[in-house]
Amino acid sequence: MGIGYILIGVGHFLLGMRDILNDFTSIVIGNPMIILGVILVYRGLFRFIGIVPKLETRLIFLFIPLLAGLLYYYKFQVPDINARMILFSLTYSTLCFIPAFGLWKHKKEYFNVQINLLITMYLAMGFFHGFRLIRTTREDQLLNFMDAGSIHAIAVIASEILVIMTSFMTIWIGTDKLQRKLSIMARTDPLTQLYNRRTFEEECDIEFSRARRKKSPFSIIICDLDLFKNINDQYGHQVGDEVLKIFSDTLRNHVRKHDVVARYGGEEFVILLPETDSKSATVVAEYIRQKTLSATVRDPDGSTGVSFSASFGVSSYYHDDDWMAVLKRADKALYSAKENGRNRVVAS
């Protein structure tokens, strides 16, 4: 995008210096330079948003040598100012409709406001240059470009509007990206990419209010890796971190999309199961327990598979005064599971 902005600026500079520079430099080089700048700006914008242009990639760069050749022809072989303006307007208009269509076709879940504004801008630019093209075809033959009229002067300003708008949208999108990234960082555990304790507690507040209002159940599973300290001591913290990651994946992959899985602290994890009674939650916990037994992590030299297990405590909402009462019962059930040999599920 930066290179594109520079090319647009240099191209307009060359056009403005036509009384000093030769016509080849100002016309045959200056105009294609502006077009190339427009291409690079919108392609850079696409990449920044996360859109990868495909078919138009090869077609677009054909415009540059073709435009330069035709501009040379209508300047030095068959001099025609109107034909050159029609050519430039046709090319510019096409290059505005292409990104408008690309943005509409590849709309992202995020940045809807920004993308809609960009589509509107590119469409407006495209229709303006289309209008300029039609207007030029109906005008008398020009002898001097500087006498072309106000609409052609506005065409120069239009390019500057494109630069300003795309720059503004890039800053806006970049700010939203940063805010979303910071939000994710604030809500998730960096090692496991699960929700953190604060987020889990916020979700529990929401679910508790909903359950009281609708008189529906919800359950909490609290689980703890068995003898995790021994794994760290015997194999090192790197293996311990891998165990935490794999166990997190096991939890994440064996619950529903609307269930909330979080790392509550150290090797302790919690699962919030909306619309789930104790019996169903116990089934989920037992299934995860069995899946955990089949998971292994390689030790540092890769020779041995390190296996591990987990204990689970389950409790459900029974018209409690707050959700913490449910968590406390689940925690007591977890303590009971560990006291009775670990690697088991206990419901309270």
pLDDT digits (tens, 9 = 90+) for 258-280: 999 999 999 999 999 999 999 99
In the chain, alpha helices (H): 2-16, 23, 30-49, 55-60, 63-72, 81-105, 112-138, 150-187, 197-214, 228-235, 237-253, 278-293, 323-339
* pLDDT confidence of residue 50: 82
What span, in angstroms and rounded, lies between the C-alpha atoms of 14 and 233?
Answer: 70
Q: 297 phi and psi, to 5 degrees?
A: -130, 135
Nearest alpha carbon to residue 71 among 140, 34, 24, 37: 24
Q: Which of 109, 267, 286, 339 is catalytic?
A: 267
- Please report, as a single letter, which amino acid is at residue 69: G
Assign 345 to helix, strand or coil: strand
DSSP code, position 73: I
Does 201 participate in catalysis according to the annotation? Answer: no
pLDDT tens digits, 198-227: 999 999 999 999 999 998 999 999 999 999
Q: What is the largest CA-CA distance in the chain?
A: 98
pLDDT at 217: 93
The predicted pLDDT at position 46 comes to: 87
Query: Do 294 and 229 touch, CB atoms closer than 8 A?
Result: no
Mean model confidence pLDDT for the chain: 89
Q: 246 pLDDT exceeds 80?
A: yes
Per-residue pLDDT at 259:
96
Q: What pLDDT, in 10s, does the model give residues 32-83? A: 999 999 888 988 888 888 887 665 556 666 778 888 999 999 999 999 888 9
Look at residue 111 in the predicted model and tell me its pLDDT.
77
User: Per mean pLDDT, which range of 173-187, 206-220, 246-260 is the poorest?
Assistant: 173-187
Q: For 284-289, what is the mean pLDDT?
A: 96
pLDDT-wise least confident of 16-25, 47-56, 246-255, 267-276: 47-56
The secondary structure of residue 190, as a DSSP letter, is T
pLDDT at 241: 94
Q: Which residue has the tokens 């415009």?
A: 63
Domain annotation for the chain: domains and CATH numbers: 2-187 (no CATH), 197-347 (3.30.70.270)
Q: What is the pLDDT of residue 137?
A: 86
Per-residue pLDDT, 279? 95
What mean pLDDT comes out for the span 112-123? 89
